[in-house]
């Protein structure tokens, strides 16, 4: 059976699409206060939320509210960023905006 180049490309694209969500990972971002995260979030156009136990910011990774790029912090101030693929963020801003 001979597969066309189109069929092979379509199969590979499908596998990448299925594997991409599984490639998300959490990265420790150190300690940041709620005020610090809130200010960063406002500066880049994200959506900040705060509860009794946690606070966080979400963006679409391009300067608007969303959930594609997220930094979440516990009451102790320890924060983690949810990053897709091999991205490595070193600041709150780089974690929330590509």
Residue 6 has pLDDT above 70, yes or no: no
More confident position, 33 or 98? 33
Mind listing the pLDDT tens digit for each residue in 33-91?
999 999 999 999 999 999 999 999 999 989 899 988 999 999 999 999 997 766 788 99
Residues 1-29 have a mean pLDDT of 55
Judge if pTM exceeds 0.75: no
Please enumerate, as own/partner, the contacts of 59-68 that have beta carbons within 8 Å and a separation of 24 or more: 59/96, 59/97, 61/96, 61/97, 61/98, 62/97, 62/98, 63/97
């Amino acid at each position: 059976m001979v597969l066309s180049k189109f069929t092979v490309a379509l199969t590979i694209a499908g596998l990448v699409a299925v594997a991409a969500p599984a490639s998300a990972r959490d990265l420790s971002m150190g300690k940041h206060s709620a005020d610090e995260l809130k200010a960063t979030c406002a500066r880049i156009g994200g959506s900040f939320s705060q509860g009794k136990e946690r606070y966080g910011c979400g963006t679409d990774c391009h300067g608007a509210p969303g959930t594609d790029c997220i930094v979440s912090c516990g009451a102790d101030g320890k924060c983690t960023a949810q990053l897709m693929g091999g991205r490595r963020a070193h600041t709150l801003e780089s974690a929330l905006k590509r």
